Amino acid sequence: AVEPLRCYECSALLGTDATSESLACLPSTECSRNHICAKFVLKRANTEILHRKCGPPGICAILNFELRRDPSVRLKECSVCDRDEC
């Protein structure tokens, strides 16, 4: 059996304090089966928020699809990885 991944789980405002970005992402949490670690940035007006969490492999496509309904929020970047705490 494949061990479940451990991913950081957090949200952080970007541009305010770069050091808090990594600190806010502890501790890591165990994902459910077949989930991967996702890291994405949502942009709304002048604010950018970094999110890290477990998610399904297609999370970037899912987010893109869901955000189409809300023109005020944009998915600025999104990446996934399949290693612990990446």
Residue 51 lies in a domain: yes
pLDDT, residue 17, reads 53
Region 19-38: mean pLDDT is 77
pLDDT, residue 78, reads 97
Tokens, residue 15: 């541009």
pLDDT, residue 12, reads 84
Residue 86 lies in a domain: no
Region 6-23: mean pLDDT is 71
Number of domains present in the structure of the chain:
1
pLDDT, residue 28, reads 84
Q: What is the pTM of this model?
A: 0.82
Domain extent for 10: 6-81
Q: How many residues are there in the chain?
A: 86
Cα-Cα end-to-end distance for the chain: 21
